[in-house]
Structure 1
Amino acid sequence: MKMSKLSFFLLYLHCLFAISSSSTIIPLGSTLQASNRNQSWSSPNASFSLSFVPVTPSSFMAAITYYAGDVIVWSASNGSNGTGDGASLVVDSGGTLNLLPSGALRLTNGSGAVVWDSATANRGVSHASIDDLGNFQLLNNESAPIWSSFQNPTDTLVPSQNFTVGKILRSGSYSLTLGRSGNLTLNWNGTIEYWSLGFNSSINGNLTSPRFMLQSNGILVGLDPSFARGMINMAYSTDYGEGDDVFRFLRMDNDGNLRIYSTSESSGNITPTWAAVTDQCQVYGFCGNMGVCGYKDSNPVCGCPSQNFYPVDEHDGRKGCRRKVEIEDCPGDVTMLQLEHTKFLTYPPEVNDQTFIVGTVACRMNCLVSGSCIGSTLVADGSGICYMKTTDFISGYQGAVLPSTSFLKVCGQAVPNPSSYLDTSGKDNDSRLHAMVIIVVVLVTLLSLFAIVTGFWCWFYGGSEKSRRISAQYELVDYASGAPVKFSYKELQQSTKAFSERLGEGGFGAVYKGTLGNRMVVAVKQLEGIEQGEMQFRMEVATISSTHHLNLVRLVGFCSDGRHRLLVYEFLRNGSLDKFLFTSNDQSGKLLTWENRFNIALGTGRGITYLHEECRDCIIHCDIKPENILLDEGYTAKVSDFGLAKLMKPKDHRHLSLASIRGTRGYLAPEWLANHPLTSKCDVYSYGMVLLEIVSGRRNFEVSPETDGKKFSLWAYSEFEKGHIEAIVDKRIKDVDSEEVERAIMVSFWCIQEQPSQRPMMGKVVQMLEGVIDIEMPPAPKLVAEGLSSGTTMTVNSDVSGLSTYAASNPAPSSSSSFMNIGASPPTPEREMGKESSSLLGSK
């Protein structure tokens, strides 16, 4: 225990040092003005800034933002001092934020009225600071904090910001708190607790000072000196551990859900990667009082229970509903509205709600005759539980699979909503009621019998190996753990509608669109030429699935069923890069801006760098081309098909070579064509070709009168030497960054050098693109002989001097494997494995 407390103390000192290690000093008397958008107090690396952020054209709020205001991590609000609902306080264009000589940080309106104050006047504040972690502090002469934004959060936590007992994240009626038992809880109006996350029962009660913190890698951890290891991992974002430039933050959203978000400076997209409440309709009060939550196309929507109600705000269903005639104003004609597949949410501590074990009729009638009951819910799962709602607030949830029926008091005749309860049979009310009662009783009986049978089945067979496999599979469908899911061939047939929607075809097989049982859209690749045994295939799949990076397509699962070998990937809606680069003029909607293209080039380079230099096993892709670079909704590049080369058995290396040559003309490195050992420099060559195509929007191997009949890459170099950069750039692009364009072109020429030793490593390529290191003028690239897209014989262009030079200075391993007839004899294992890399997927 002494060692654990020492470890925790050292961890705390490390965090404290990190917070105070780099900060910008702001002297007393400093002022920010809402009318001057260029004013800000920024951290040393400019990642965080305190400034005025526009809410409307004429109103502003004082907030700490991450990079150019995209993410607000703190704001002067009526919740930043532990009170109020967390709403940000706004000022007009005359507003100011003053660090007064008294030590108070004060927000005032244009009229001089005080809107917000830090309450630190005359408490010894000597200066303020903001550090690279996003913490704004008011400090005394000893640099001890008197007040800080980390200790007074609003609705957001950033990495390294401790969330301790007594702190609150607020957003409207919702709040996040931490109890002394170590439980994080989400609350509505400070009374209804509808979600909690905490340590296990063996730890609860033994905590001294529990706290939570979001780590920069996307893991939510619990901290306490009593822990044997100092911390416990509580929740993981779906992209945890990915991306060096990813910024993650935890936010209490105004819809009552707690989420982890991820963003990066390069993409600018803000993506939710974890949510506390997976079913949004389970959030108490999400649709307001008397509102009912349901789903439309997987999106939560709010509506009123029936035509006896009207929405409080027609433009915002979340504000709830009201009765057209209130019960107290009803002239003695109160009836019960019956809502099928609906429940009224009940969470502790709704102590006024009453629970009974009764049937349908009694659940309805008991509420009808009770003066305090507003509505009731019968849980039709065989338990016979009836909840009598006696509170003034009703939060409803309706869904086709909910095993419950609810009743709600209305004045006069109940008029169901037409979309769900329209009845045009012409029968009188009593007949309809009688029939509905009979139907409900029968359904409850059947459901009860079903629940009993299911219970017995689970008792006797729930522990079987098959049951455990099924349970494990569906727990892993969200693949947050990174483990691949094993699917049967029949499951993937159903998911893809018998492989009916073809997305494309590559060197390793066709790709089809599919939808899993949890509504996740995926891309299913049918592998061809794979003859490995199941155990070896699984080992290779495990290696691929353990490779996680922001710029790599994620593997969801696989199928190894008999002769069938399939891989299931995440689906990226924007498809492959080639559809954007080589589109015709009449498809201008698919034209990428220069900013998009440069970010795609950087992202692709980072993904390949990870494969070559950063992951546990060095992976040579062997097939870098625009068709294997996919784009997500924000046009973030993700490299696909990596690691597939190793799935081929050694005897199939000849098949691998030919498959890579088919449809990939123009991207093969000279050493590949000359039958020499393959190294990571082959991918560098292919990347250089792709980079030039990103700049030009044209295929490198195409010739035209505009290029004087030369291959485009050679013509482009001659134009670059003449200083005609604009001739190389895609003429459809407007507003290019000339420095970035020049860097990209020079890097592409370095990458496509004939000799592998002249090409830089991918890590250096990325640094050159980023402008971190200077780029010298590259030598002229030489022409490489290329084969046609069909057949096994390589047809060589008329000018093969470049390749001949390479072949002369780098003789092939055997005379039988000439570049003139690459398909005549199978490549040797030594060629495939190479001297610089023990295998295509081997150790670095």
Structure 2
Amino acid sequence: MSEIQTRFNPCYSYFATFFFILSPFLFTLSTTTNIQLGSSLSASNLNQTWSSPNNTFSLRFISINSSSFSLSINYDSISIWSISNTVDSRATFTLLSNGNLQLLSGAGTVLWQSNTSNSGVSHATLDDSGNFSLKNRSNFVIWSTFDHPTDTIVPSQNFTVGMVLSSGLYSFFLKKTGNLTLQWNNDIVYWGLGLNDSVSSNISNPRLGLQSIGILSLYDDKLTTSVTLAYGSDYAESGDILRFLRLENDGNLRIYSSTKGSGNILVRWTAVSDQCQVFGYCGIMGICSYNDVGPVCGCPSENFNLVDPNDFRKGCKLKREVKDCPGSAAMLQMDNTKFLTYAPETTNDVYYVGISACRGNCLSGSSCVASTILADGSGQCYIKTSNFVSGYKSAALPSTSYVKVCNPIVPNPPPLTEEGGKRKKLEGWVVAMVVLGTLVGLIIIEGIVWWCCCRKSPKFGGLSAQYALLEYASGAPVQFSYKELQEATRNFKEKLGEGGFGAVYKGILANKTVAAVKQLEGIEQGERQFRMEVATISSTHHLNLVRLIGFCSEGKHRLLVYEFMKNGSLDSFLFSTDVQSEKILSWEQRFNIALGIARGITYLHEECRDCIVHCDLKPENILLDDSYNAKVSDFGLAKLINPKDHRHRTLTSVRGTRGYLAPEWIANLPITSKSDVFSFGMVLLEIVSGKRNFEVSNRTNGKRYSIWAYEEFENGNAKNILDSRLVDYDVDMDQAMRAIQVGFWCIQKTTSLRPMMGKVVQMLEGIIEIEKPPMPNIASEGSISGTSLNTSGPGPSSSSSLQATPLTQPSINMERPTFSHIQRDSTSFSTTE
């Protein structure tokens, strides 16, 4: 769930809330035209309507085709409320004399009714807000379309708990906690938008409303101001514009806008940015992917037929059911494909096994129809036992899926061409000759152009290396053009942060994936080495590491594309000073974050083919996903720095991240994985305390927090070390004591006393007993090449650096250790096991 903060402008917000609450009464007082009992509409007369006083809205029958009609309330040609039944030309819609509203088919069958017989209804109205109401003689509303929405909400309409927007198998709800939810088949929850704890705890009677200026807001009697959930991209723009929120039959919730008389309907906000993540979008056994236009649906292989050849979204069915081929079943493998798994499926049929077991267990299981193994380091295997399976295929997905079919397996064919009106495969040698001839021709033309025009121009000198690297290995990250990333980031408009390697921008890729695009600066490596380092980083997959999606390398432009983390970096939670909007992590969340960081670093140190030393582990480089899982960022980037530029960055980097440097950096000693262990210990103590390690105050008697904390631990006052903001949370003191002791072991000055990261994980998990740590001797960091380190001041602010900066000293020969090939420190760590 995304955390939504209250966006607060006192004058505007109070006015908006006041207007929203009063708006139904204002519209009730406006001029209306009464529709008398006995009035009716007929599908045979499309000119017959019930209209609002200003003729903005009308209730009438509209033609679907020559023989089918439907009844709806319309704004221009836009339906804002409708009855799903289609009817013939003899159908009627009548307000009966007993006050009941009925839709009758031509044969006289009741297709829909308001169930308001004998309720005192005297007339009906359609007001200028689009609300159709049945009222008594005192103008009290007995029934209204605003209280019984179908698939759309308009301004002035309250959407409350218990109401439902429906479209096919999809539905949209508002929960009592104020959270918004999209469901498939009233079972699978595939999207949610939630409030933070400080807001949701005050909710008693939430109401969702779309303001006329295009802002989706939540209202409640206990809130002093509304909570903004989403902005339409054209919010607050003037004009005669109708904005509305609609649940479409593709399962997505969107805000639209339309200018009166234009006939144009424009999307202004979308709930699920990646359409392929909508469960069931391509139907049963359907696989969703993207082409140049948008999402497309297909079948896993030619072992399947489309359920409906005229509608690819209805899914696929096996040509031969598995039950009809006992003993002859096989597993169809689909690379870069996953089967969507949402609650409640996430609580069942999840195993931690390897790829062979994930495939084999499904093949041997009688109830299993498909499985997915994740290649993100989590080791998770999802076994699908439901007959309804929804798939997603993308080159960026690190997963492999299997579907149980009858032998023989028939993969989907390559693209076909048309000849003489018949589908015909081209001969392989013809294709090869055409491709080869085209490539040779292009190379010759390019060579001539370069020789004549560009060979002496320094502007184009760097391009030759790029085109020479045709041997770029398969399986590497996705390569983007600079233009593609410019478009994805809207010309680098929304900056997320800036650090030693350059700025990071938010972008939306062509497949609608939200990403973080890092624009590297000072990278002057050769093309070949840059791509090799990028390939190394991208091949490093783990649940607690930020995933590299792709890169761009065009001349001087070097960019990296990472997965996007909505909750930002850990420092913004630990060291926030804004009490009004303070984000507090519970102890359970903090401990899970610490354990996640430890596992991620363990993977880099001990489980990769080559040991990768991070060199700049700090809270700013720990990102949190939607579920507050820790993701270590910027690992492996130290090798991308140009040695010349590296010396310049060293001085500023050391001053910017003091408090996390291992003593060996200062003493110009060999840098090993134990340097990261020291940094992790510092981060661990900050997670426990919520304070910077080098922070001094009256509470610490003028001592740095880490030194004061050890003295409190020595005196048996470990509770004093805990973040004071945790007073209202349950704290597992056994876990807290383990974390504190592990932190002190990690920050020992002597590297041999520091544990390996794999041992750190075991200590945090309580698998091995922890001895009492000695006093860490970190009181003095000295100076670096004449540049003194001021250790008495506070540590780096959360805004100082969002990117990793390699912490090396000017006197260290950077060509001596290459960070992805540093030898692992095998020094043992003494504990009682």
TM-score by length of 2: 0.50
- The answer to which structure, 1 or 2, has the higher relative contact order (CA under 8 A, 6+ apart) is 2
